[in-house]
C-alpha cells in the first residue's frame, strides 16, 4: 500500500501498463506538453518515446477513428481529452464506428481502446467545459463507461480498462485529481463492472457517481450526527452497471437516492432510479429520488455555479424527505470548501 494522489495513480497505471505491454500508446491534444494533462501523463514521453506518447493536431474526429484503426490492427490506444466536451466532436466515431465494429464484423474485430476524458468543475468552466456525458456513452451498446473516484479505483480500473478488449470511456473528475488515498501495490486490477460500497449503512442508500461520491460521504457524516445510517455506493463502472450491488443495498435500507454528477433528465440517474424502482418494487419505504445538476447550461459566475451544482446539503435534504424527517439545522456548515481551495486559471 502506498499513499498516492489520484493524478499519480492515473499516471502510475499508465506507466505500469505501458511497461507491461508494448502495444499500449497514449495520444491526444497536449498529452506530451509540459503540463501533461494535469500531470497524468508525466514521464511517458521520457520513458517510452514519442512513438508511444504524442500530442496531436486538434482533430478529435479523425483522432478517434485513428484509435479505432490502431485497435483493430493489434495496438491498444489510449486517447486523452482534457475535457469530455470535446468528445462531442467524436460522437460519430464512438456511436457509429467504435461501438459497432465488433458486432458489424460478426465478432471478428475487437476494439481494445481506452478514451480518457476529464470532467467536472474547475475555475469558471462554463457551459462548454462542464459536461459529463456518461449517460450518452452508456446508452450505446458496445462501450464500457468507467468513472473512478478514488486513487485506488482509478489505478485499478485504468489497468483493467487498458487490458480489456473492448472500448472503455474513462471519466476523471478534475477535482478528484488532488485527492490522496491508499493505493494497492503492484499491478492489482479493479474489475470492471463491480460497484463498491464506499460506506456501509442501514437506513438509506445513496448511489453516487464521480464527485457526488465525495458529497454523499459528507452528507452521510452529517446524517450520522442525527443517527441516520447511510450506505454510499459508487458504481464505478457505469456500463455495464452492477445492478445487484445496488439492489442488495436498497433491499436492506428501503430508501434510495441517486446522486449523479450530471443533469437528471434522461440521465444515468434516471436509469438507476428506474431500475431500483422496478427491482425493489414493494420493498421501498419511499420513492427513489434523484439529485443532479440544475437543468440549465452551466453558468460561469461562481454564485450561480454554486446553485447549479448540488452538494451534500441537497443530499441531506433529499435524505430527510425520503425518511420523513424534519430538516436538520445546517446553518453554519460550509458546503463550499473545495471550491475555495481550487484556484484558476483552469
Partner 1 sequence: MTARAQALTLYESLLLIRRAEEKIQAHYAEDDMKTPVHLYIGQEAVAAGVVNGLDPADPIVGTYRSHGIYLARTDDPEGFFAELYGRVGGPAKGKAGSMHMARPQDGLFLTSAVVATTIPVALGLAFTQQYRKTGRSVAAFFGDGAMDEGVFWESLNFACLKRLPVLFVCEDNGLAIHTPSVARRGYKSVADAVGGFDCHFVESESTDPAEISDLTRDALARQREDGRPVFMRLRCYRYVEHVGPREDRDFHLGYRREEEFEYWRARDPVRCQRERLIKLGVPEAEVAALETKIDERLSRCVAEAQKAPFPEPEELHRDVLA
Ligand X SMILES: Cc1ncc(C[n+]2csc(CCOP(=O)(O)OP(=O)(O)O)c2C)c(N)n1
Applying CB under 8 A, among 37, 68, 230, 280 the residue interacting with partner 1 is 68
* Partner whose footprint covers residue 251, from its own copies, partner 1, ligand X, none (CB < 5 to 8 Å by kind): none
Q: Scanning residues 34 to 53, which ones bind partner 1 (CB under 8 A)?
A: 34-35, 51
The one catalytic residue among 79, 81, 129, 173: 129
129 is catalytic: yes
Label the pairing between strands 196-199 and 230-234. antiparallel
Under 8 Å between Cβ of 232 and 208 = yes
CA angle at 275 for the pair 269 and 279, rounded to the nearest 5° = 150
Between 15 and 97, CB nearer to ligand X: 97
- Work out whether 333 is an interface residue with partner 1 (CB under 8 A): no
Between 75 and 286, CB nearer to its own copies: 286
Q: Scanning residues 165 to 194, which ones bind partner 1 (CB under 8 A)?
A: 165-166
60 is catalytic: yes
Between 41 and 135, CB nearer to its own copies: 135
Distance in Å, CB of 288 to ligand X, minimum: 37
* Partner whose footprint covers residue 5, from ligand X, its own copies, partner 1, none (CB < 5 to 8 Å by kind): none
C-alpha closest to that of 262 among 153, 145, 341, 116: 145
Q: How far is CA 226 from CA 108, 203, 330, in A?
A: 57, 12, 12
Question: Looking only at Cα atoms, what is the longest distance across the chain?
Answer: 60
Between 100 and 313, CB nearer to ligand X: 100
Under 8 Å between Cβ of 27 and 54 = yes
Between 203 and 314, CB nearer to partner 1: 314
For residue 95, the 8-state DSSP code is: I
The one catalytic residue among 60, 172, 231, 305: 60
- Work out whether 338 is an interface residue with partner 1 (CB under 8 A): no
Applying CB under 8 A, among 92, 202, 283, 337 the residue interacting with partner 1 is 92
C-alpha closest to that of 143 among 91, 194, 185: 91
Contacts of 308 by beta carbon, 8 Å cutoff, 6+ apart: 293, 294, 296, 298, 299
Q: Scanning residues 266 to 325, which ones bind partner 1 (CB under 8 A)?
A: 294-297, 299-305, 307-308
How far apart are the C-alpha atoms of 149 and 162, rounded to whole Å?
A: 18
> Which residues have a catalytic role annotated?
60, 129
Amino acid at each position: 500500500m502506498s499513499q498516492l494522489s489520484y493524478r499519480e495513480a492515473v499516471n502510475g497505471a499508465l506507466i505500469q501498463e505501458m511497461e507491461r505491454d508494448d502495444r499500449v500508446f497514449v495520444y491526444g491534444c497536449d498529452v506530451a506538453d509540459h503540463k501533461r494533462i494535469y500531470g497524468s501523463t508525466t514521464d511517458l514521453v521520457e520513458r517510452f518515446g514519442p512513438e508511444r506518447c504524442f500530442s496531436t493536431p486538434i482533430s478529435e474526429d479523425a483522432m478517434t477513428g485513428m484509435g479505432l484503426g490502431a485497435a483493430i490492427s493489434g495496438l491498444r490506444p489510449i486517447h486523452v481529452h482534457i475535457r469530455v466536451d470535446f468528445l462531442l466532436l467524436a460522437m460519430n466515431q464512438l456511436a457509429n464506428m467504435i461501438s459497432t465494429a465488433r458486432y458489424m464484423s460478426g465478432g471478428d474485430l475487437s476494439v481494445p481502446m481506452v478514451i480518457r476524458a476529464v470532467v467536472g468543475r474547475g475555475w469558471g468552466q462554463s457551459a462548454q467545459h462542464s459536461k459529463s456525458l456518461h449517460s450518452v456513452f452508456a446508452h450505446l451498446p458496445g462501450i464500457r463507461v468507467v468513472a473512478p473516484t478514488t486513487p485506488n479505483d482509478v489505478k485499478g480500473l485504468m489497468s483493467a480498462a487498458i487490458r480489456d478488449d473492448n472500448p472503455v470511456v474513462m471519466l476523471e473528475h478534475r477535482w478528484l485529481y488532488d485527492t490522496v488515498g491508499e493505493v494497492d501495490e503492484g499491478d492489482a486490477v479493479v474489475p470492471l463492472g463491480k460497484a463498491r460500497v464506499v460506506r456501509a449503512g442501514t437506513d438509506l442508500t445513496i448511489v453516487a457517481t464521480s464527485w457526488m461520491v465525495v458529497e454523499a460521504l459528507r452528507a452521510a457524516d452529517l446524517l450520522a450526527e442525527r443517527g441516520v445510517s447511510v450506505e454510499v455506493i459508487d458504481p464505478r463502472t457505469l456500463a455495464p452497471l452492477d445492478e445487484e450491488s445496488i439492489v442488495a443495498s436498497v433491499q436492506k435500507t428501503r430508501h434510495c437516492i441517486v446522486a449523479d454528477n450530471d443533469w437528471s433528465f434522461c440521465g444515468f440517474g434516471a436509469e438507476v432510479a428506474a431500475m431500483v424502482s422496478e427491482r425493489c418494487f414493494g420493498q421501498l419505504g419511499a420513492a427513489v429520488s434523484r439529485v443532479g445538476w440544475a437543468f440549465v447550461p452551466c453558468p460561469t459566475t461562481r454564485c450561480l455555479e454554486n446553485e447549479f451544482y448540488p452538494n451534500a446539503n441537497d443530499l441531506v435534504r433529499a435524505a430527510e424527505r425520503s425518511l420523513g424527517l424534519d430538516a436538520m439545522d445546517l446553518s453554519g456548515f460550509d458546503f463550499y470548501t473545495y471550491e475555495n481551495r481550487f484556484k484558476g486559471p483552469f
